[in-house]
Amino acid sequence: MQAIPTSAEAGSASVSQLFGYPFRIFFLSMTVLALSVIPVWVLQVTGVVNMPLAMPGLFWHQHEMLFGFLTAAIAGFLLTAVCVWTQTERTHGFRLVLLWGVWLAGRLLLAFGADLPDWLVQGVNLAFLPLVMLDAGWRVWKAKQKRQLMLLVVLGLLWLMQIGFVTRLDMTYSHGALIAAMALISIVGGRITPAFTSGWLRQRGLNADAVKNIPTLDMASLFSMILLLASLVTGWQALTGGLSLIAGTLVLVRLANWKGWLARKEPLLWVLHLSILWVPVSLYLLAGTIFAGWPSNAWSHAAGTGAISCLILGVIARVTLGHTGRALVLPKGMVVAFIAIQLAAVIRVLTAFDIIPWHPGIGSSSLLWMFAFGMYLVRYTRILASPRPDGQPG
Protein backbone atom coordinates (compact mmCIF):
# COMPACT_ATOMS: atom_id res chain seq x y z
CA MET A 1 0.00 0.00 0.00
CA GLN A 2 1.33 3.43 -0.91
CA ALA A 3 2.38 5.56 2.02
CA ILE A 4 1.14 9.08 2.57
CA PRO A 5 3.82 11.53 1.41
CA THR A 6 5.64 13.36 4.14
CA SER A 7 5.56 17.13 4.31
CA ALA A 8 9.02 17.24 2.79
CA GLU A 9 7.96 15.05 -0.12
CA ALA A 10 4.81 17.09 -0.64
CA GLY A 11 6.61 20.43 -0.79
CA SER A 12 6.50 23.48 1.42
CA ALA A 13 3.18 24.52 2.89
CA SER A 14 2.03 28.07 2.15
CA VAL A 15 -1.02 30.29 2.44
CA SER A 16 -1.04 30.87 -1.33
CA GLN A 17 -1.43 27.13 -1.88
CA LEU A 18 -4.76 27.28 -0.03
CA PHE A 19 -6.15 29.30 -2.94
CA GLY A 20 -4.99 26.86 -5.58
CA TYR A 21 -8.24 24.89 -5.46
CA PRO A 22 -11.62 25.59 -3.77
CA PHE A 23 -11.58 22.57 -1.47
CA ARG A 24 -8.35 23.71 0.21
CA ILE A 25 -9.44 27.04 1.63
CA PHE A 26 -13.08 26.15 2.21
CA PHE A 27 -12.43 22.86 4.00
CA LEU A 28 -9.90 24.55 6.26
CA SER A 29 -12.12 27.57 6.93
CA MET A 30 -15.15 25.36 7.54
CA THR A 31 -13.21 23.36 10.11
CA VAL A 32 -12.02 26.48 11.94
CA LEU A 33 -15.61 27.73 12.01
CA ALA A 34 -16.81 24.35 13.32
CA LEU A 35 -14.32 24.61 16.17
CA SER A 36 -15.27 28.22 16.92
CA VAL A 37 -19.07 28.35 16.78
CA ILE A 38 -19.78 25.66 19.38
CA PRO A 39 -17.62 27.05 22.22
CA VAL A 40 -18.66 30.64 21.44
CA TRP A 41 -22.31 29.56 21.51
CA VAL A 42 -21.85 27.84 24.88
CA LEU A 43 -20.07 30.88 26.32
CA GLN A 44 -22.75 33.18 24.92
CA VAL A 45 -25.76 31.29 26.33
CA THR A 46 -24.08 30.86 29.71
CA GLY A 47 -23.38 34.59 29.93
CA VAL A 48 -19.60 34.24 30.07
CA VAL A 49 -19.23 36.42 26.97
CA ASN A 50 -21.53 38.89 25.32
CA MET A 51 -20.61 39.22 21.67
CA PRO A 52 -22.23 41.96 19.53
CA LEU A 53 -24.09 39.41 17.39
CA ALA A 54 -26.17 40.73 14.50
CA MET A 55 -29.05 38.42 15.40
CA PRO A 56 -30.27 36.72 18.61
CA GLY A 57 -27.86 34.05 19.88
CA LEU A 58 -29.93 30.97 19.03
CA PHE A 59 -30.56 32.17 15.50
CA TRP A 60 -26.88 33.09 15.07
CA HIS A 61 -25.89 29.56 16.12
CA GLN A 62 -28.36 27.97 13.70
CA HIS A 63 -27.40 30.26 10.84
CA GLU A 64 -23.68 29.65 11.22
CA MET A 65 -24.07 25.88 11.33
CA LEU A 66 -26.37 25.79 8.31
CA PHE A 67 -25.32 28.73 6.18
CA GLY A 68 -21.72 29.17 7.32
CA PHE A 69 -20.38 25.70 8.07
CA LEU A 70 -22.54 23.80 5.56
CA THR A 71 -22.21 26.25 2.68
CA ALA A 72 -18.41 26.29 3.03
CA ALA A 73 -18.43 22.50 2.75
CA ILE A 74 -20.72 22.73 -0.30
CA ALA A 75 -18.49 25.32 -1.97
CA GLY A 76 -15.33 23.30 -1.33
CA PHE A 77 -16.80 20.07 -2.63
CA LEU A 78 -18.98 21.35 -5.48
CA LEU A 79 -16.54 23.83 -7.00
CA THR A 80 -13.88 21.14 -6.97
CA ALA A 81 -16.07 18.33 -8.28
CA VAL A 82 -17.78 20.36 -11.00
CA CYS A 83 -14.42 21.15 -12.58
CA VAL A 84 -13.80 17.42 -12.89
CA TRP A 85 -17.31 16.67 -14.12
CA THR A 86 -17.25 19.40 -16.78
CA GLN A 87 -13.50 19.36 -17.60
CA THR A 88 -13.25 23.11 -17.02
CA GLU A 89 -10.52 25.22 -15.43
CA ARG A 90 -10.78 25.43 -11.65
CA THR A 91 -11.62 28.58 -9.75
CA HIS A 92 -8.37 29.64 -8.09
CA GLY A 93 -6.16 32.58 -7.26
CA PHE A 94 -7.73 36.03 -7.02
CA ARG A 95 -11.23 34.87 -8.00
CA LEU A 96 -11.17 32.29 -5.23
CA VAL A 97 -9.87 34.89 -2.76
CA LEU A 98 -12.84 37.12 -3.60
CA LEU A 99 -15.36 34.28 -3.25
CA TRP A 100 -13.86 33.20 0.06
CA GLY A 101 -13.81 36.83 1.16
CA VAL A 102 -17.59 37.06 0.72
CA TRP A 103 -18.03 33.95 2.88
CA LEU A 104 -15.65 35.30 5.55
CA ALA A 105 -17.28 38.72 5.55
CA GLY A 106 -20.62 37.09 6.26
CA ARG A 107 -19.19 35.34 9.32
CA LEU A 108 -17.61 38.52 10.68
CA LEU A 109 -20.66 40.70 10.09
CA LEU A 110 -22.93 38.27 11.91
CA ALA A 111 -20.52 37.88 14.82
CA PHE A 112 -19.74 41.58 15.34
CA GLY A 113 -22.38 43.52 13.42
CA ALA A 114 -24.97 44.26 16.10
CA ASP A 115 -24.87 47.98 15.27
CA LEU A 116 -24.76 47.59 11.50
CA PRO A 117 -27.83 47.95 9.26
CA ASP A 118 -29.73 44.74 8.55
CA TRP A 119 -29.54 45.21 4.79
CA LEU A 120 -25.74 45.09 4.90
CA VAL A 121 -25.46 42.01 7.11
CA GLN A 122 -28.22 40.17 5.27
CA GLY A 123 -27.03 41.21 1.81
CA VAL A 124 -23.48 39.97 2.29
CA ASN A 125 -24.62 36.69 3.81
CA LEU A 126 -27.16 36.09 1.07
CA ALA A 127 -24.61 36.78 -1.67
CA PHE A 128 -22.44 33.71 -1.13
CA LEU A 129 -24.64 30.82 -2.29
CA PRO A 130 -25.70 32.55 -5.53
CA LEU A 131 -22.01 33.15 -6.34
CA VAL A 132 -21.28 29.46 -5.79
CA MET A 133 -24.25 28.48 -7.96
CA LEU A 134 -23.17 30.93 -10.66
CA ASP A 135 -19.64 29.52 -10.70
CA ALA A 136 -20.90 25.95 -10.91
CA GLY A 137 -23.84 26.78 -13.17
CA TRP A 138 -21.91 28.31 -16.05
CA ARG A 139 -19.64 25.26 -16.14
CA VAL A 140 -22.63 22.93 -16.23
CA TRP A 141 -24.28 25.04 -18.93
CA LYS A 142 -21.10 25.16 -21.00
CA ALA A 143 -20.65 21.39 -20.75
CA LYS A 144 -24.40 20.78 -21.39
CA GLN A 145 -24.58 18.42 -18.43
CA LYS A 146 -28.28 18.41 -17.64
CA ARG A 147 -27.67 15.76 -14.99
CA GLN A 148 -26.14 18.41 -12.73
CA LEU A 149 -29.09 20.81 -12.92
CA MET A 150 -31.06 19.15 -10.11
CA LEU A 151 -28.13 19.76 -7.79
CA LEU A 152 -28.33 23.46 -8.58
CA VAL A 153 -32.11 23.44 -8.08
CA VAL A 154 -31.72 22.02 -4.56
CA LEU A 155 -29.00 24.57 -3.83
CA GLY A 156 -31.48 27.22 -4.91
CA LEU A 157 -34.01 25.84 -2.43
CA LEU A 158 -31.38 26.00 0.31
CA TRP A 159 -30.79 29.64 -0.59
CA LEU A 160 -34.52 30.37 -0.39
CA MET A 161 -34.50 28.90 3.11
CA GLN A 162 -31.63 31.22 4.01
CA ILE A 163 -33.57 34.22 2.70
CA GLY A 164 -36.56 33.27 4.83
CA PHE A 165 -34.39 32.67 7.88
CA VAL A 166 -32.34 35.88 7.87
CA THR A 167 -35.28 38.13 6.99
CA ARG A 168 -37.87 36.60 9.33
CA LEU A 169 -35.79 34.83 12.02
CA ASP A 170 -38.20 31.92 11.83
CA MET A 171 -37.01 28.41 12.69
CA THR A 172 -39.35 27.00 10.06
CA TYR A 173 -36.74 28.03 7.50
CA SER A 174 -33.83 26.51 9.39
CA HIS A 175 -35.80 23.26 9.50
CA GLY A 176 -36.46 23.63 5.80
CA ALA A 177 -32.74 24.12 5.26
CA LEU A 178 -32.08 20.82 7.04
CA ILE A 179 -34.43 19.07 4.61
CA ALA A 180 -32.74 20.79 1.65
CA ALA A 181 -29.35 19.67 3.00
CA MET A 182 -30.59 16.08 3.24
CA ALA A 183 -31.85 16.35 -0.33
CA LEU A 184 -28.31 17.35 -1.31
CA ILE A 185 -27.06 14.29 0.57
CA SER A 186 -29.53 12.23 -1.45
CA ILE A 187 -27.96 13.49 -4.68
CA VAL A 188 -24.26 13.60 -3.79
CA GLY A 189 -24.32 10.63 -1.45
CA GLY A 190 -26.20 8.65 -4.07
CA ARG A 191 -23.40 9.27 -6.55
CA ILE A 192 -20.29 8.75 -4.50
CA THR A 193 -21.27 6.13 -1.91
CA PRO A 194 -22.31 3.23 -4.16
CA ALA A 195 -19.61 4.10 -6.70
CA PHE A 196 -16.84 4.14 -4.10
CA THR A 197 -18.18 0.98 -2.47
CA SER A 198 -18.41 -1.04 -5.68
CA GLY A 199 -14.97 0.21 -6.75
CA TRP A 200 -13.42 -0.85 -3.44
CA LEU A 201 -15.03 -4.28 -3.70
CA ARG A 202 -13.89 -4.70 -7.30
CA GLN A 203 -10.28 -3.82 -6.44
CA ARG A 204 -10.26 -6.62 -3.89
CA GLY A 205 -11.86 -9.21 -6.13
CA LEU A 206 -15.10 -9.16 -4.16
CA ASN A 207 -18.66 -9.02 -5.42
CA ALA A 208 -18.99 -5.45 -6.70
CA ASP A 209 -22.22 -6.34 -8.51
CA ALA A 210 -23.91 -6.71 -5.14
CA VAL A 211 -24.07 -2.91 -4.94
CA LYS A 212 -27.25 -1.78 -6.66
CA ASN A 213 -28.20 1.71 -7.80
CA ILE A 214 -31.76 2.10 -9.07
CA PRO A 215 -32.30 5.46 -10.85
CA THR A 216 -36.07 5.41 -10.35
CA LEU A 217 -35.62 4.93 -6.63
CA ASP A 218 -33.04 7.74 -6.58
CA MET A 219 -35.47 10.18 -8.19
CA ALA A 220 -38.36 9.09 -5.97
CA SER A 221 -36.23 9.67 -2.89
CA LEU A 222 -35.14 13.13 -4.04
CA PHE A 223 -38.60 14.33 -5.06
CA SER A 224 -40.15 13.03 -1.85
CA MET A 225 -37.76 15.27 0.09
CA ILE A 226 -38.50 18.26 -2.12
CA LEU A 227 -42.21 17.72 -1.46
CA LEU A 228 -41.43 17.31 2.22
CA LEU A 229 -39.61 20.65 2.21
CA ALA A 230 -42.61 22.35 0.60
CA SER A 231 -45.10 20.86 3.05
CA LEU A 232 -42.94 21.69 6.07
CA VAL A 233 -42.52 25.34 5.09
CA THR A 234 -46.22 25.76 4.27
CA GLY A 235 -47.26 24.16 7.56
CA TRP A 236 -49.15 21.08 6.37
CA GLN A 237 -48.38 19.03 9.46
CA ALA A 238 -50.07 15.75 8.61
CA LEU A 239 -48.67 15.77 5.08
CA THR A 240 -45.22 16.59 6.44
CA GLY A 241 -45.38 13.62 8.79
CA GLY A 242 -46.51 11.26 6.05
CA LEU A 243 -43.88 12.47 3.60
CA SER A 244 -41.21 12.10 6.30
CA LEU A 245 -42.06 8.42 6.64
CA ILE A 246 -42.10 7.92 2.87
CA ALA A 247 -38.85 9.78 2.25
CA GLY A 248 -37.12 8.05 5.15
CA THR A 249 -38.14 4.63 3.88
CA LEU A 250 -36.99 5.38 0.34
CA VAL A 251 -33.57 6.50 1.61
CA LEU A 252 -33.32 3.41 3.80
CA VAL A 253 -34.06 1.11 0.85
CA ARG A 254 -31.43 2.89 -1.27
CA LEU A 255 -28.90 2.53 1.52
CA ALA A 256 -29.64 -1.18 1.86
CA ASN A 257 -29.04 -1.60 -1.88
CA TRP A 258 -25.56 -0.09 -1.48
CA LYS A 259 -24.49 -2.96 0.82
CA GLY A 260 -22.38 -0.87 3.17
CA TRP A 261 -21.67 -3.84 5.45
CA LEU A 262 -19.53 -5.35 2.69
CA ALA A 263 -17.10 -2.45 3.08
CA ARG A 264 -17.10 -2.40 6.88
CA LYS A 265 -13.31 -2.83 6.98
CA GLU A 266 -12.71 0.48 5.17
CA PRO A 267 -13.32 3.57 7.39
CA LEU A 268 -13.53 5.90 4.39
CA LEU A 269 -16.53 3.89 3.23
CA TRP A 270 -18.35 2.85 6.38
CA VAL A 271 -18.36 6.46 7.53
CA LEU A 272 -20.34 7.40 4.39
CA HIS A 273 -22.91 4.63 4.84
CA LEU A 274 -23.31 5.23 8.57
CA SER A 275 -23.64 9.00 8.07
CA ILE A 276 -26.33 8.63 5.39
CA LEU A 277 -28.19 6.27 7.75
CA TRP A 278 -28.83 9.35 9.88
CA VAL A 279 -31.07 10.71 7.08
CA PRO A 280 -33.88 8.15 7.55
CA VAL A 281 -33.35 8.31 11.32
CA SER A 282 -33.87 12.09 11.14
CA LEU A 283 -36.95 11.76 8.97
CA TYR A 284 -38.53 9.14 11.21
CA LEU A 285 -37.84 11.37 14.22
CA LEU A 286 -39.53 14.24 12.35
CA ALA A 287 -42.58 12.05 11.82
CA GLY A 288 -42.50 11.23 15.54
CA THR A 289 -42.40 14.94 16.34
CA ILE A 290 -45.57 15.50 14.34
CA PHE A 291 -47.54 12.37 15.19
CA ALA A 292 -46.29 11.56 18.70
CA GLY A 293 -45.12 14.89 20.10
CA TRP A 294 -41.44 13.97 20.25
CA PRO A 295 -39.08 16.92 20.85
CA SER A 296 -38.34 18.77 17.62
CA ASN A 297 -34.67 19.21 18.47
CA ALA A 298 -34.27 15.42 18.32
CA TRP A 299 -34.82 15.23 14.57
CA SER A 300 -33.04 18.52 13.87
CA HIS A 301 -29.88 17.39 15.67
CA ALA A 302 -30.06 13.95 14.10
CA ALA A 303 -30.05 15.77 10.77
CA GLY A 304 -27.50 18.46 11.64
CA THR A 305 -25.03 16.67 13.88
CA GLY A 306 -25.71 13.22 12.45
CA ALA A 307 -26.42 13.24 8.72
CA ILE A 308 -24.82 16.54 7.70
CA SER A 309 -21.79 16.87 9.99
CA CYS A 310 -20.83 13.19 9.99
CA LEU A 311 -21.02 13.00 6.21
CA ILE A 312 -19.09 16.24 5.78
CA LEU A 313 -16.24 14.93 7.92
CA GLY A 314 -16.16 11.65 6.00
CA VAL A 315 -16.24 13.35 2.60
CA ILE A 316 -13.63 16.02 3.31
CA ALA A 317 -11.26 13.41 4.77
CA ARG A 318 -11.41 11.50 1.48
CA VAL A 319 -11.58 14.43 -0.96
CA THR A 320 -8.56 16.11 0.63
CA LEU A 321 -6.43 13.00 0.17
CA GLY A 322 -7.63 12.25 -3.36
CA HIS A 323 -7.37 15.76 -4.76
CA THR A 324 -3.93 16.37 -3.29
CA GLY A 325 -2.58 13.26 -5.03
CA ARG A 326 -2.22 11.17 -1.90
CA ALA A 327 -3.14 7.55 -1.27
CA LEU A 328 -6.55 6.99 0.31
CA VAL A 329 -5.00 6.08 3.64
CA LEU A 330 -6.39 7.92 6.65
CA PRO A 331 -3.92 9.85 8.80
CA LYS A 332 -3.50 8.65 12.35
CA GLY A 333 -6.45 9.43 14.60
CA MET A 334 -9.07 9.99 11.91
CA VAL A 335 -10.88 6.69 12.54
CA VAL A 336 -11.30 7.81 16.15
CA ALA A 337 -12.57 11.16 14.82
CA PHE A 338 -15.19 9.34 12.71
CA ILE A 339 -16.35 7.44 15.78
CA ALA A 340 -16.36 10.59 17.91
CA ILE A 341 -18.61 12.57 15.56
CA GLN A 342 -21.07 9.66 15.37
CA LEU A 343 -21.13 9.45 19.17
CA ALA A 344 -21.68 13.21 19.35
CA ALA A 345 -24.81 12.80 17.24
CA VAL A 346 -26.12 9.87 19.30
CA ILE A 347 -25.57 11.69 22.59
CA ARG A 348 -27.18 14.89 21.27
CA VAL A 349 -30.32 13.03 20.18
CA LEU A 350 -30.54 11.13 23.48
CA THR A 351 -30.16 14.46 25.30
CA ALA A 352 -33.10 15.86 23.34
CA PHE A 353 -35.22 13.01 24.74
CA ASP A 354 -33.90 13.66 28.29
CA ILE A 355 -32.38 10.18 28.36
CA ILE A 356 -29.09 11.94 29.11
CA PRO A 357 -29.28 15.03 31.36
CA TRP A 358 -28.92 18.32 29.52
CA HIS A 359 -25.61 19.62 30.90
CA PRO A 360 -23.54 16.41 30.56
CA GLY A 361 -25.25 15.65 27.25
CA ILE A 362 -24.52 19.03 25.69
CA GLY A 363 -21.03 19.10 27.16
CA SER A 364 -19.98 15.64 26.00
CA SER A 365 -21.50 15.95 22.54
CA SER A 366 -19.81 19.34 22.06
CA LEU A 367 -16.43 17.97 23.16
CA LEU A 368 -16.74 14.97 20.83
CA TRP A 369 -17.70 17.28 17.95
CA MET A 370 -14.71 19.52 18.64
CA PHE A 371 -12.37 16.54 18.95
CA ALA A 372 -13.51 15.16 15.58
CA PHE A 373 -13.01 18.39 13.63
CA GLY A 374 -9.95 19.27 15.69
CA MET A 375 -8.36 16.01 14.59
CA TYR A 376 -9.07 16.91 10.95
CA LEU A 377 -7.51 20.33 11.50
CA VAL A 378 -4.38 18.83 13.05
CA ARG A 379 -3.91 16.06 10.48
CA TYR A 380 -4.97 17.85 7.32
CA THR A 381 -3.89 21.49 7.60
CA ARG A 382 -0.41 20.85 6.20
CA ILE A 383 -1.87 18.65 3.44
CA LEU A 384 -4.32 21.41 2.47
CA ALA A 385 -1.56 24.04 2.43
CA SER A 386 0.99 21.94 0.52
CA PRO A 387 1.27 21.35 -3.25
CA ARG A 388 0.55 17.95 -4.73
CA PRO A 389 3.59 15.69 -4.66
CA ASP A 390 3.13 14.93 -8.38
CA GLY A 391 3.29 18.62 -9.34
CA GLN A 392 -0.26 18.66 -10.76
CA PRO A 393 -2.77 21.38 -9.88
CA GLY A 394 -4.99 20.28 -7.06
Can you tell me the distance from the alpha carbon of 66 to that of 230, in angstroms, rounded to the nearest whole number?
18
The CB density around residue 217, as the number of other CB atoms within 10 Å, is 16
pLDDT of residue 329: 94
Contacts of 15 (CB under 8 A, 6+ apart): 385
Helices (H), 144-236: 149-168, 171-203, 215-234
Q: Which of 94, 179, 174, 95 is nearest to 132 (CA)?
A: 95
Asked if 1 and 329 count as a contact pair (C-beta separation under 8 A), the reply is yes
Average pLDDT of the chain is: 94
- Give the confidence band of 147 by pLDDT, cuts at 50, 70, 90: confident
Share of the chain above pLDDT 70, in %: 97
Per DSSP, 147 falls in state G
Q: What is the CA radius of gyration of the chain?
A: 20
pLDDT at 364 over 50: yes
- Give 155-168 pLDDT, tens digit per residue: 999 999 999 999 99
- Give 254-277 pLDDT, tens digit per residue: 999 999 999 999 999 999 999 999
pLDDT at 3 over 50: no
- Give the confidence band of 11 by pLDDT, cuts at 50, 70, 90: low
pLDDT of residue 234: 96
- Tell me the whole-structure pTM to 2 decimals: 0.94
DSSP for 284-351 reads: HHHHHHHHH---HHHHHHIIIIIIIIHHHHHHHHHHHHHHTT--S-PPTTHHHHHHHHHHHHHHHHHH
Instruction: Return the amino acid letter for 73.
Output: A
pLDDT at 137 over 60: yes
